[in-house]
Amino acid sequence: TVDEFGTVDILVNNAGITRDTLVMRMKQTQWQEVIDLNLTGVYLCLQAAVKIMMKKKTGRIVNISSVVGKIGNPGQVNYASAKAGVIGMTMATAKEVGSRGITVNAVAPGFIESDMTE
């Protein structure tokens, strides 16, 4: 993307998966897949964007979390943990880069009908 457009002005981190099941039945792979995409994926994109934005001393990052990251939901311990992590990551990064003209915010929507929630 940077090769094609030359820079990054804004990043919207909006990717996510679910692997819902009760915690007592959750396989480690179900945990790890959700953490890898919903938390680590957000981190990797955020880190790459911050490196570019720091040089420019400006930028906007919006991380899509979920209300589940604030209140939890039965059968979604993996998803809730990842989305809570996104909220914490957002707050920490905002404090880290805010003085350099970069804003970092999270949006935590409630239930949205989509292919993922079918």
Q: Residues 79, 80, 90, 106: which is the catalytic one? A: 79
Do strands 10-13 and 102-107 pair parallel, antiparallel, or not at all (unpaired)? unpaired
CATH number of the 7-113 domain: 3.40.50.720
Whole-prediction pTM = 0.91
pLDDT tens, N- to C-terminus, the chain (118 residues):
788 888 999 999 998 999 999 999 999 999 999 999 999 999 999 999 999 999 999 999 999 999 999 999 999 999 999 999 999 999 999 999 999 999 999 999 887 676 655 6
pLDDT at 73: 97
Note if 79 is an active site residue: yes
**DSSP alpha helices (H): ranges in the chain?**
2-5, 28-35, 41-56, 68-71, 77-97
